[in-house]
Amino acid sequence: MEIVPNKLNSSGTKMKIMVKDRILERLREAGAGEYISGQELCEALGVSRTAVWKAVGRLREEGYPIEAVQNRGYRLDEARAESSDLLNEAELNARLSAATRWAGHPCYYAEETGSTNDDIMALADQGAPEGTLCVTSLQNKGKGRRGRRWISPDGGNVYMSLLVRPKMPTNIAPMVTIVMALAACKACQEIAGGAVVDDIERQERGQAAGAEAEAGAAAGSGENICLEKGVCAAAAGSGDQCVYPARFGIKWPNDIVVSSAKDPAWKKMTGILTEMRLEERDIRDVTIGIGFNVNTSSIPEEIAATASSIYLATGKKTNRADLVAAVWKHFEEDYGLFVRAGSLAPLRAAYEQVLVNKGRTVRVLDPQAPFTGRAIGISDLGELLVEVTPASEGQVPGRPVIRAVSAGEVSVRGVEGYV
């Protein structure tokens, strides 16, 4: 990943990127159906005809539908471009500039890198500002929690990391992971059409009106909504794609999970890794890394029982640049509330609304003394609150007690499955 902001490297790569992006900007400014001649682009950008030709070729390689007509010039097919899943620096910056004030500015994109967390820390060491974002489609050294390797395949996914420099106690800063999870869940709901967990739970209890309303609303969008796996009367025989209503939630503390009519089991589709660096006793910086399984059509066999993607759950492709912008829009809003409060108090209600563990029996894998209880929510510090009856711990039956579980100490599993 190129990490030298606003400078030309020895090969001139940055210059080529700038010409390409400026041509794209000009084609978009021209509007639908309008052509711009190659000579006009040369004069406007101060480059040769060969440079324009090469830059247009690069844009086509990235997936931009650019037409070239002799004696008329170049034209961008905006309709086809908008429906494509184009992920590059130009698409990201265009959306981030409209969605956020500081999160994602500046933004760097590479088709492949080792780890976006490592890229951000390298940029931070060079003095990069808070809000710097690195995005990629493929990591070859992705990192997970507790030193695990995070599988980061190519195939329509997105991996990214953001730099923040919080001025707060070191025991408060790790809660930013929960802020990130909530923002990611909101973004999935916004971009991929996910319902709030509470709404779907009501449907599961037999109140089908919500599902019918959702199907009716989506039908107006021209999509073929399937309320059951393999059932799609609208798409039958038409060759059109089935789209399944999906719900997104959070498995405490920070796993984004998805469930749909196509695949009703809760499965993980997002991983988050936050790394904090200290300078003596103060926080130097925090790197927040997040990876989304977006448009991938297959999951490695060893994790297929607990992992999925937005596409596998919904049957619908998602524009990754739109998702990236939505993530940091929601993060910027929620992070501001978190910093001002110095806790998760202002975000608790929203987080608990999408907490799939809430109301379920969970097994807390405490290395000292594992126990079972019912998850009832989180504390202002992000701890999972578990209601435990004394009898379940081998004591005399009595009034339930609430135990606060910290994310860094234990793991939580559903008694009957992943959630």
Residues 109-139: tens digit of each pLDDT: 998 999 999 999 999 999 999 999 999 999 8
Which neighbouring-strand residues pair with 276? 286
Supply the DSSP symbol for 4. -
Across 40-49, 50-59, 333-342, which has the greatest mean pLDDT? 333-342
Ordered structural domains, the chain, with CATH: 13-83 (1.10.10.10), 89-210+241-353 (3.30.930.10), 361-414 (2.30.30)
Supply the DSSP symbol for 58. H
Pick 52 or 195 by higher pLDDT.
52
- C-alpha to C-alpha distance for 65 and 52, rounded to whole angstroms: 16
42, 22 contact by CB (below 8 A) = no
**Residue 367's pLDDT is what?**
82
Give me the long-range contacts of 128-132 (CB less than 8 A, separation at least 24).
128/5, 128/163, 129/105, 129/163, 130/102, 130/163, 130/164, 130/165, 131/100, 131/102, 131/103, 131/104, 131/105, 131/106, 131/162, 131/163, 131/164, 132/105, 132/106, 132/107, 132/108, 132/162, 132/163
- C-alpha to C-alpha distance for 136 and 132, rounded to whole angstroms: 14
> Residue 416 contacts by C-beta under 8 Å, 6 or more apart in sequence?
none
Q: Kindly list the distances between the CA atom of residue 130 and the CA atoms of 18, 125, 290, 414, in Å, as whole numbers in the listed order.
A: 23, 12, 17, 37
In tens, the pLDDT along 142-156 reads: 665 545 555 555 568
**Residue 25's pLDDT is what?**
84
Q: Quick check: 215 pLDDT over 50?
A: no
Mean of all residue pLDDT scores within the chain:
82
327, 183 contact by CB (below 8 A) = yes
Helix axes 49-61, 38-45, angle to 10 degrees: 100
Query: Residue 283 CB: number of other CB atoms within 10 A?
Result: 18
Exposure of 109 in the CB half-sphere (CA atoms within 13 A): 19
- C-alpha to C-alpha distance for 391 and 405, rounded to whole angstroms: 19
165, 273 contact by CB (below 8 A) = no
What mean pLDDT do residues 378-394 have?
84
Q: Kindly list the distances between the CA atom of residue 156 and the CA atoms of 62, 153, 209, 311, 314, in Å, as whole numbers in the listed order.
A: 13, 9, 34, 10, 15
- C-alpha to C-alpha distance for 301 and 313, rounded to whole angstroms: 16
Pick 78 or 44 by higher pLDDT.
44
**Residue 31's pLDDT is what?**
75
86, 64 contact by CB (below 8 A) = yes
- C-alpha to C-alpha distance for 88 and 62, rounded to whole angstroms: 8
Q: Kindly list the distances between the CA atom of residue 118 and the CA atoms of 115, 123, 163, 164, in Å, as whole numbers in the listed order.
A: 5, 9, 11, 14
Q: For residue 66, give the H/E element and its range.
A: strand 66-69
Task: Compute and round to an integer the Cα radius of gyration of the chain.
Answer: 24
